[in-house]
Amino acid sequence: MTPDDFQLSTFLPYRLAVLTERVSRRLAVEYGRTHGLAVAEWRVLVHLLRCGAVSIRDIHTCVSLEKPRVSRAVTRLEAEGLVAKTAGSGDGRLVSISLTTAGRRALADIIPEATRLERQLTDAVSPDELAIFYRVMERMHAVLDSDPEAKPRTPMDLERLEA
Amino acid sequence: MTPDDFQLSTFLPYRLAVLTERVSRRLAVEYGRTHGLAVAEWRVLVHLLRCGAVSIRDIHTCVSLEKPRVSRAVTRLEAEGLVAKTAGSGDGRLVSISLTTAGRRALADIIPEATRLERQLTDAVSPDELAIFYRVMERMHAVLDSDPEAKPRTPMDLERLEA
DNA sequence: CCAAACTCGTTGCATTTGAAATGATATTGA
DNA sequence: TCAATATCATTTCAAATGCAACGAGTTTGG
């Protein structure tokens, strides 16, 4: 391929970026409209649903968000009463974050909508195609895993493979 | 699926976001290290290579970037001598933007690296799988195309389908 | 012909962002 | 024991972002 043939609209990173942004924004309509959440806040809430009382660091390493971003997301969520921050009982540096009843309620509202959107997208292809789609994504991750210039995957995204 | 079973790491929008960000950052290492470019600047340069002298608006509608972002990217690129801004000859509102020789040289440096990264990723799967991967992406776009809450695709991303 | 409506590119402004620094607490090792 | 080092969460700060507003130019319709 000579440089002159290079085309943005068929370039894999660009195509990924365009689809992701579109999906992401469409999803944000759901959790933004109903509860005024941003993506970081949404991720934190979902993580808490799974993992109970955890630290900022734990969220950071699990949901692909920078530490300050998690910290600020938690601050906002606390202000809105969706999570509770408690000083960790053991290690004095840690902050224990957990869902409140209101937080659980918010998730109960949003998750069905999120799942519905996901199903809309996945129902457009056959199960076989979808399986291949995910396999391809995984292979691309694997390429990056062995690339020293690439950022490592979060432990949780890796862990899923072993299950 | 009850809300309690919901898991971020298998949620399609999240998975897309994680892979995209990883690929994107890895790519940014290439054009950042060698020429100090950001993603908007990279996209603008590539678009210019294809489309010659065009307006800000044209770039905006082609490469999935907000208008102010294009405007500022062009300003920076001009400051670095990679593009030239000329008052359009006809319509006095339009600005004609085109690559300089230095801009072309920069692309000649970067495009092979970008292509190499893309190939690394795509070579990890069979051509059949890759074709399905792209087909699935296209189907998901199609779902969003008929969703009034979703942002429309750029004309150029659509146009590619007809070719 | 000219006023209203539209389009273009830029800028203002408030918010978000991430890297690095900070302050507080824990752990380590001499 | 206690200094040196490491880890945790937050904050600082500069840069990026996106929406809306703006000034300049153009088109439209009466």
Q: Could you identify the residue written with the tokens 């974050």?
A: A97
- In this complex, the answer to whether residue A85 has its CB under 7 A from any atom of chain C, a nucleic strand, is no
CA distance, residue B102 to nearest chain A CA (Å): 14
| Contact assignment for B140 to A156 by CB distance below 8 Å | no
Beta strands in A16-156 (DSSP E): 83-87, 95-99
Phi and psi angles of residue B65, each rounded to the nearest 5 degrees, phi first: -135, 140
**CB–CB contact B19 A141 (8 Å):** yes
Which chain A residues are closer than 8 Å to B28 by Cβ?
none
**Which chain A residues are within 8 Å of B50, Cβ to Cβ?**
6-8
| Contact predicate A19/B133, CB 8 Å | no
* Residue B52 CB burial class (10 angstroms; 0-12, 13-18, ≥19): exposed
Confirm whether B162 is domain-assigned.
yes
| Nearest CB to B16; choose among A23, A47, A108 | A23
Whether residue B12 contacts residue A118, with contact meaning beta carbons closer than 8 Å, is answered with yes
A136 and A118 fall within a common domain: no
Neighbours of B78 (CB within 10 A): 15
B49-CA/D5-C1' distance, Å = 52
A contacts of B32 (beta carbons < 8 Å): none
CA-nearest residue of chain B to A47?
A: B8
Q: Is A55 exposed, middle or buried (0-12, 13-18, 19+ CB in 10 A)?
A: middle
The chain B residue lying nearest A17, using CA atoms, is B20
Query: By three-state DSSP, how is residue A96 classified?
Result: strand
CA A39 – CA B48 distance, rounded (Å)? 33
Nucleotide nearest to A57 (CA to C1'): D8
Q: What's the length of chain A?
A: 163
Per-residue confidence (pLDDT) for residue A23, from 0 to 100: 97
Task: Return per-residue pLDDT of chain B as tens, 163 residues.
Answer: 567 789 999 999 999 999 999 999 999 999 998 899 999 999 999 999 999 899 999 999 999 999 999 999 999 999 999 999 998 778 889 999 999 999 999 999 999 999 999 999 999 999 999 999 999 999 999 999 999 999 999 988 887 766 5
Q: What average pLDDT does the segment A84-103 reach?
A: 90
Return the minimum-mean-pLDDT range out of A31-45, A100-114, A146-160, B138-152. Answer: A146-160
Q: Are residues B118 and B153 in the same domain?
A: no
Q: Is the CB of B67 under 7 A from strand C?
A: yes
CATH number at residue B63: 1.10.10.10
Q: Which nucleotide is nearest to B66 (CA to C1')?
A: D18
Q: Mark whether B87 and B147 lie in a shared domain.
A: no
Instruction: Kindly state whether residue B2 falls inside one of the protein's structural domains.
Output: no
Same domain, B48 and B118: yes
Whether A46 and A84 share a structural domain: yes
- Give the residue numbers spanning the domain of B103: 8-124
Number of domains in chain A: 2
Whether residue B3 is contained in a domain is answered as no
Q: Which two tokens stand for residue A58?
A: 């734990």
Q: Give the number of other Cβ atoms within 10 Å of residue B7's Cβ.
A: 15
Q: Using CA atoms, how far apart are residues B101 and B12, in angstroms rounded to an integer?
A: 42
**pLDDT computed for residue A71 by the predictor:** 97
* Residue B15, domain member (yes or no): yes
Residues A47 and A21 occupy one common structural domain: yes
Closest B-chain CA to A40: B14
CB contact under 8 A, A140 and B121: yes
Residue B135 lies in a domain: yes
Confidence (pLDDT) at B37 = 94
Task: Indicate the pLDDT class of residue A84, thresholds 50, 70 and 90.
Answer: very high
**Across A93-103, average pLDDT:** 95
Half-sphere exposure of A81 (CA within 13 A, CB side): 5
Residue B156's pLDDT is 87
Residue A7 and residue A27 in one domain: yes
Q: Separation of CA A28 and C1' D15 in angstroms?
A: 25
Q: Which of A66-80, A82-96, B18-32 has the lowest mean pLDDT?
A: A82-96
The answer to whether A65 and A73 are in contact (CB under 8 A) is yes
Q: Looking at the predicted structure, is the pLDDT value of residue A162 above 90? A: no
For A44-57, how does the pLDDT look when each residue is reduced to its tens digit (9 = 90+)? 999 999 998 899 99
Residues A28 and A86 in one domain: yes
DSSP state of A11: -
Q: Are residues A96 and A160 in the same domain?
A: no
Does one domain contain both A111 and A144? no
Q: What whole-number distance in Å separates Cα of residue A130 and Cα of residue A64?
A: 23
Assigned domain for B152 exists: yes
Decide if B41 is inside a domain.
yes
pLDDT on residue B159: 72
- Nucleotides in chain C with any atom closer than 7 Å to protein CB: 7-12, 16-20, 23-27
- Work out the pLDDT band at A87, boundaries 50, 70, 90: confident
What band does A9 get if pLDDT is binned at 50, 70 and 90? very high
Among residues B104, B108, B138, the alpha carbon closest in space to that of A9 is found at B138
Task: Quote the pLDDT of residue B21.
Answer: 97
| Cα–Cα distance measured from residue A19 to residue A113, given in angstroms and rounded to the nearest whole number | 19
The distance (Å) linking the CA of A28 with the C1' of C4 is 38
Indicate if A27 and A106 belong to the same structural domain: yes
Q: Do A11 and A47 have their domain in common?
A: yes
B46 contacts in A (CB within 8 Å)? 6, 8, 11
User: Is A159 (CB) below 7 Å from strand C?
Assistant: no
Which nucleotide's C1' sits nearest to the alpha carbon of B95? C9
